[in-house]
Amino acid sequence: MEEIRKILVPVDFSEVAPVVAKWAKGFAKQMKAKIIVAYVLEDLSTYEGIYVDIKTLTELENTLLEGAKKSMEDFIKENFSDYTEVETVIEKGDVVETLIRIAQDQGVDLIVMGTHGRKGLDKILFGSVAEGVVKNSPIPVVTINPYRAGLIKAEED
């Protein structure tokens, strides 16, 4: 088995993210690895043809990026204040492709992510990020299902 020196932890700031962070931090402590926490904002330019002008999309994207920076700051304080080897990355693009590229660019040895994140419309629009990463990543992926593990109570459908 290869040495694991860097772990990528994709987050979406949902209720699942702290559970995944806890697992990733546990792995990192055991392996003395650095953690890279990544958030990818879906590229809104894919919606250009839906009678929304580009200025409106650009303004929305900028607002979402600023919100992501604040959410990331809070997330790191709440979940990694006791672990110093943490770096953050916020980018925009296709979520699956961008996460895999970030992992490769950063020399990541392992990706730790949740099998469930945002619900409802987001899931319908964007599909399963975890599934896409597992199917396409050349880097090993550990997935955490907090609902099956009983860590978070499943919502009634």
Residue 22, domain CATH: 3.40.50.620
Is 1 a member of any domain?
no
Domain assignment present for residue 31? The answer is yes
Q: Is residue 149 part of a domain?
A: no
> Whole-angstrom Cα distance, residue 118 to residue 45?
21
Gap between the Cα atoms of 151 and 41, Å rounded: 26
Structural domain contains residue 18:
yes
With respect to residue 156, please indicate whether it lies within any of the assigned structural domains: no
Q: Do 72 and 90 touch, CB atoms closer than 8 A?
A: yes
For every one of its 157 residues, what pLDDT tens digit does the chain have, with 9 covering 90 and above?
A: 689 999 999 999 988 899 999 999 999 999 999 999 999 998 877 666 666 666 777 888 899 999 999 999 999 999 999 999 999 999 999 999 999 999 999 999 999 998 865 554 445 444 488 889 999 999 999 998 877 655 555 554 4
Asked if 35 and 7 count as a contact pair (C-beta separation under 8 A), the reply is: yes
Element (H, E) at 42: strand 34-42
Other Cβ atoms less than 10 A from the Cβ of 129: the count is: 23
120-128's contacts with Cβ under 8 Å and 24+ in sequence apart are 126/42, 126/95
What's the rounded Cα separation, in Å, for the pair 134 and 113? Answer: 10
In a domain, 129, yes or no: yes
Domain membership of residue 154 (yes or no) is no
Residue 69 structural domain: 6-144
Classify 97 as helix, strand or coil: helix
**104 and 138 in contact (C-beta within 8 Å)?**
yes
Give the number of domains in the chain: 1
Mention every residue, 6+ apart, whose C-beta is less than 8 A from residue 137.
Answer: 100, 103, 111
Classify residue 58: in a domain, yes or no. Answer: yes
